[in-house]
Amino acid sequence: MKITYGILGLLFIAILVSWTQMPEISTDDRAITSLPWIIKTDGEGGSSIFGLEIGKATVRQAQTLFNDEAEFGIFLDKDGSQSLETFFNYTRMAGLQARITLTLKTTPQELESLANQAIDKKGQQSNSFKLVLPTDLNENLLSYTFSSLTYQPKVKLEQELLQARFGIPDTVKNIGEEAQQWLFPKKGLSILLAKNEKPVFQYVRPDQFDYYFGDKTNEPVPDQNEQAVTSLHSDSKQD
């Protein structure tokens, strides 16, 4: 009998430990929209993810939603392109921890002005560079809107789960021998899948999808006042 009680006690402890290690699930009104596969489109070329309307929501709104302090930087790619980005390193949405990067809307003149104020230049693993901006610019940068949101979960999600949640992609592009890019134009979504790596989701407005992920040769810039650049820089932010 003592052995039976002992076994039951150990079983109870095991169950209790498993409960405490389960991801926290939000119970507030944002629980549904906090899932990365809940994308709302307006039928007019716009979309929202995590309750943030792409192209209209500000960094300040994102910072409040993600409950994490925004960090800013200008990324210089090896092809000469530049992008102003802000990232949130420790975001938890619906129990999933992730890093989120916003590519901000800015004019070439603003981008040049900000670059001239950089206080440091750091090399990245992707042969690009990051210009570190002084923190006294943050208050102004929080009012900027973003043209792209990149979501990088810190857990590996299997392709079967992704297909069940997002559906079958319209187009699948092979990138080398061990990576694929799933494209969902109507959702404004790209999912980058690499062998033994965590997926990378990038969200844009559906009416700007071709500019980011299609043939850019004849595509106009989404907004004539916007410096729109697709830039993931996942190696500089991912564990």
pLDDT for 2-18, tens place per residue?
444 454 444 433 433 33
Q: In what side-by-side order are the strands of the sheet with 47-49?
A: 39-41, 47-49, 52-53
Q: Which of 27, 235, 2, 7 shows the shortest CA–CA distance to 122?
A: 235
How is 38-94 classified by DSSP, letter by letter?
A: -EEE-SSS-EEETTEETTTSBHHHHHHHHTS--EEEEEE-TTS-EEEEEEEEEEEET
Kindly state the average pLDDT of the residues 202-219: 82
pLDDT band with cut points at 50, 70 and 90 for residue 31:
low
Q: Collapse the DSSP code of 167 into the 3-class scheme (helix H, G, I; strand E, B; otherwise coil) and give the result.
A: coil
Top pLDDT among 225 and 168 is at 168
12, exposed or middle or buried, with CB in 10 Å at 0-12, 13-18, 19+? exposed
Tell me the DSSP string of 200-215. EEEE--GGGHHHHHS-
State pLDDT tens for residues 138-177: 999 999 999 999 999 998 888 899 999 999 999 999 998 8
**Which residue ranges make up each domain of the chain?**
30-154+213-236
Residue range 199-213: average pLDDT? 96
Q: What is the pLDDT of residue 28?
A: 46
Q: What is the DSSP letter of 143?
A: T
| pTM attached to this predicted model | 0.79
